Amino acid sequence: MPDVLVAGAGPTGLLVAFELERAGIDVLVLERDARPTTQSKALGLQPQSVEVLADRGLLAAIEPHADARLPAGHFSGIRIDYTDLPTNFPYQLGVEQVHVAAAIEARLRTPVLRDAAVTAVTQDSEGVTVTAGGRDHRATWLVAADGGHSTVRKLLGAAFPGTSARISLVVADVTLTRKPHGVGDDWQLPSNTPGFLLPLSGGRYRTVVVGEEQQRYGRDAPVTAGELQRALTAAHGPEIEVGQVLWASRFGDAARQVEQYRHGRVLFAGDAAHIHLPVGGQGLNLGLQDAVNLGWKLAARIRGHAPDGLLDSYHDERHPVAARALVSTRAQGLLGAPDVGAVREIVTGLLAVPEARHAVALEISGIGITYPGTTGRATDVPVAPDGRAVLVGASAPSGWTDRVESRDGTRPELVRPDGYVVWQGGPGLDSALRRWFGSELRQ
């Protein structure tokens, strides 16, 4: 019997499983689809996510598939420079989500169980039973990373408050048999104009369209080549011609978040915990950051040495970050409306002020995220390969070596397994160790 079941084999669920396995925990990932998806989906890794993947030795398998390194992010199409961020990776990596998921899955010890759609979830004081693919699976914990329409969330009746979608958009990967010169020739930040095109590998293009026609269709209505042709013609003129529609989906600007990330022995992560307009390139990255925050805490709980409140700190730390992202994406959606030109002009001017631009860059990139009791991420201290904390420039006291790896260094630091610094020399090392890494020491 595994210690943890993970529902959903997207990047969030896979990275949770990877983090748990690094710490010696047995995990089984349940995925409803029979085969790995070939859909590109999200297209960008923010600097903090690049840091996280590099720390874990996952970036090397992803980089060959990257289409671009963008030295800036954007706020509703307004350029936000990243080049002065305090990170070794001051750029967005333009890469299809499918390659991120494949790189993580390739490193799992236990293969993903596919064709295993979740149909029932029950829990008791000892664990969780999940019915998936017609079979019952038992574990001590369940991580729900099964997307914005999370089955687990619905089965548990977990409250998912927020705002409903007001507009409908279409995202699609297409081929083009003809296009105007200069359109879709290279990667650039999305503008405020619907119908932007980004080149993908293999002669494919990503586009997002929104207009009056898109508002007439329901969420599940098929996206046709004709609909995309009309939208792209309106955006780029008659010289553009759609070939094949390789993948398309409708989405809206709903913004919702579960009230509690933990429901008994079930923990929510990624889109199962929060949804928002996919503007600014934050959705995939929020999920990856959920995964690395949750993984080491759940592992400590399972291994029996988590201090009181450690697992609940997952909600305490991550819920406010996603709540802020929902505010940001709602604001960006409003700035993209056609009748707010004056407001957009003012915001553009404000973001030209270096201090304002830097503050927004820290937020969108993830580099500026801190949690209570931490001082930010350690940019030059790679995480331990086995999920332990890292103590630099000092020796771990007796009894802590099963949870803390000691390393030489001139700047003393105690770094959590997710890369956040919780002590920087001087008094307080013992209290930091006890707060984050142990309720009882093994002598």
Q: What is the pLDDT of residue 351?
A: 94
Q: What is the pLDDT of residue 76?
A: 87
Residues 24 and 90 in one domain: yes
CATH code, domain with 442: 3.40.30.120
Alpha helices in 157-274 (DSSP H): 225-236
Residues 151 and 208 in one domain: no
Residues 377 and 440 in one domain: yes
The single-letter DSSP state of residue 420 is B
Residues 194 and 293 in one domain: no
Which residue type occupies 349?
A: G
Residues 179 and 201 in one domain: yes
Q: What is the pLDDT of residue 282?
A: 81
Residues 11 and 123 in one domain: yes
CATH code, domain with 156: 3.50.50.60
The burial class, CB within 10 Å (0-12 / 13-18 / 19+), for 22 is buried
Give the domain-ending residue among 252, 270, 302: 252
In the chain, the number of structural domains is 3
Report the C-alpha gap between 74 and 46 in whole angstroms. 11
Query: What is the full per-residue pLDDT of the chain (443 aa) written as tens digits?
Result: 999 999 999 999 999 999 999 999 999 999 999 999 888 888 989 999 999 999 999 999 999 999 999 999 999 889 999 999 999 999 999 999 999 999 999 999 999 999 999 999 999 999 999 999 999 999 999 999 999 999 999 999 999 999 999 889 999 999 999 999 888 888 876 555 678 898 998 999 999 998 899 999 988 899 999 999 999 999 999 999 999 999 999 999 899 999 999 999 999 999 999 999 887 678 899 999 999 999 999 999 999 999 999 999 999 999 999 999 999 999 988 887 778 889 989 999 999 999 999 999 999 999 999 999 999 999 889 899 999 999 999 988 888 988 999 999 989 999 999 999 999 999 999 999 999 998 755 44
Report the C-alpha gap between 142 and 166 in whole angstroms. 33
Report the C-alpha gap between 40 and 66 in whole angstroms. 12
CA 114 to chain centre: 22
Residues 245 and 223 in one domain: yes
Give the domain-ending residue among 215, 236, 252: 252
Q: What is the pLDDT of residue 335?
A: 84
The burial class, CB within 10 Å (0-12 / 13-18 / 19+), for 349 is exposed
Residues 60 and 145 in one domain: yes
Domain that holds residue 221: 168-252
CB neighbour list of residue 243: distance below 8 Å, 6 or more residues apart: 174, 175, 176, 177
The single-letter DSSP state of residue 377 is B
Residues 239 and 274 in one domain: no
Residues 153 and 206 in one domain: no
Q: What is the pLDDT of residue 188?
A: 74
Q: What is the pLDDT of residue 193?
A: 61
CB neighbour list of residue 297: distance below 8 Å, 6 or more residues apart: 306, 310, 311, 313, 314
Give the domain-ending residue among 365, 385, 408: 365
Residues 185 and 234 in one domain: yes
Q: What is the pLDDT of residue 185?
A: 86
Residue 384 backbone dihedrals phi, psi, to 5 degrees: -70, 145
